[in-house]
A = this chain, B = another copy of it.
Amino acid sequence: MGIVVQKYGGSSVADAEGIKRVAQRIVEARKDGNDVVVVVSAMGDSTDELIDLAERVSPLPAPRELDMLLTAGERISMALLAMAIGNLGQEARSFTGSQAGVITDGSHGKAKIIDVTPGRIEQALGTGAVAIVAGFQGVSQDTKDITTLGRGGSDTTAVALAAALKADVCEIYSDVDGVFTADPRIVPTARKQSRISYEEMLEMAACGAKILHLRCVEYARRYDMPIHVRSSFSHHSGTWIADHEAEAEDMEKAIIAGVAHDRSEAKITVVGVPDRVGEAARIFEALSDAQINLDMIVQNVSAAATNLTDISFTLPRSDGQTAMSALSRIQEVVGYDSLLYDDQIGKVSLIGAGMRSHPGVTAKFFAALAAAGVNIEMISTSEIRISVIVDEPQVDDAVSATHRAFDLEAAEVEAVVYGGTGR
């Protein structure tokens, strides 16, 4: 058959038993006649342990050295996985990111893949071996230093390798069976989606669904590489992420892909901003200079009597302190009254390419929230998504009510969570 790229996260290879179980699956895929390339993350919590060690020797470790350190994690898991596969009678060879030809820029800790030249991988496949590749890492084009790709790095490695090798599919294994219509911890009857488009998956990822990182889906969409998200703990078919838009006659296609939620954001309101040209620009310039990524932004209509307006926006909670400081520094220049900071908020998003052609989705969404007694603080929309900010304690109710209102429930409970969470 063709080439299959499989990616296993840290929770799938957390210990010797996990590694042996994964090895078994890989050998099965090889026996099915595929050329198999496996991308693997570091074992369980080993990356966190390395970071702890680093903090104990230096409060602010050099990024180049931190990358050198962290890449030891995948080196351990990939070598052990290759051994476990060898023990089953199937030859396997492990390769670092550098050996696998994952060429990146020089941004340590958050390097971007520039090119993938998998000559050694193709050579290994040519001899009948399974190739095991360290996820999350590469080598910088200019200095030949070891780099890491940052969050979502291993998934991105897998998709990038799959694209370079012209693989048939990139299988991303984790501890859940696929992409669900909502987080099964909140909605136990959430339904597994058998297929979903790149666009929808991008919105899901951006709105807090943790199953795949935005960056990996973007990469897959650019190279039109189908992703099959599935569990390494079961043999169920998972969710296929691909260009389903092309299938015009797709009757199975749901209007709504799912309900996502995110508790990682905070809201800042700048109160009493003079409603003059350029004042808002100054505020966002200050935030941009501080390297802060904003999500939703709302500006109220100014009250006629005062000619003052309020500007609210959401941002990652981890950037809250930095943003407040940056804004404080420009208070006199802008002349605003005060700042309000609220990190007791949550974002609930309804996502689905189908809503384009189905009017009334927004009305139904808001009605469901109202019936559940959930107050909407901010609203933002795209062509295939509606997001609202609500009080954090109301997130669960909002997700459940929305899921029910759009008839997303499965006939029976489908979701099983098998282990921890990987990188």
Partner of A62, one of B20, B68, B83: B83
A34 to chain B, nearest CB (A): 21
Q: Which residue of B lies closest to A52 (CB)?
A: B16
Partner of A76, one of B53, B80, B84, B94: B53
What 1/0 flags go to A75-90 for Cβ under 8 Å of B? Answer: 1101111111011000
| Chain B residues within an 8 Å CB radius of A84 | 57-58
A60 to chain B, nearest CB (A): 7
| A69 adjacent to B76 (CB under 8 Å) | yes
Once the chains are docked, how many angstroms separate the CA of A53 from the CA of B20? 12
| Chain B residues within an 8 Å CB radius of A282 | none
Once the chains are docked, how many angstroms separate the CA of A92 from the CA of B58? 13
| B76 adjacent to A72 (CB under 8 Å) | yes
| Chain B residues within an 8 Å CB radius of A56 | 16
| Chain B residues within an 8 Å CB radius of A20 | 57
| A80 adjacent to B94 (CB under 8 Å) | no
| B75 adjacent to A80 (CB under 8 Å) | no
| B53 adjacent to A65 (CB under 8 Å) | no
What 1/0 flags go to A47-69 for Cβ under 8 Å of B? Answer: 00010011011111110111011
**A93 sits at the interface (CB 8 A):** yes
Majority secondary structure of chain A interface residues (helix, strand, loop or mixed): helix
Given contacts A54-B80, A144-B99, contact A61 B86 (CB under 8 A): yes
| B71 adjacent to A83 (CB under 8 Å) | no
Given contacts A60-B87, A86-B61, A99-B144, contact A66 B79 (CB under 8 A): yes
Given contacts A16-B53, A56-B16, A144-B99, contact A69 B61 (CB under 8 A): no
**A100 sits at the interface (CB 8 A):** no
A267 to chain B, nearest CB (A): 37
| A57 adjacent to B16 (CB under 8 Å) | yes
| Chain B residues within an 8 Å CB radius of A54 | 79-80, 83
| Chain B residues within an 8 Å CB radius of A16 | 53, 56-57
Q: Which residue of B lies closest to A43 (CB)?
A: B53
- Pull 23 A–B residue pairs with CB atoms less than 8 Å apart, ordered by A: A16-B57, A20-B57, A53-B76, A53-B80, A57-B80, A58-B83, A58-B86, A59-B87, A62-B82, A62-B83, A65-B79, A65-B92, A65-B94, A66-B79, A68-B94, A69-B75, A69-B76, A69-B80, A69-B83, A71-B75, A72-B73, A72-B75, A72-B76
Q: Which 9 A-B pairs have the closest CB atoms?
A: A69-B79, A16-B56, A58-B87, A68-B79, A61-B83, A58-B83, A57-B84, A72-B72, A72-B75
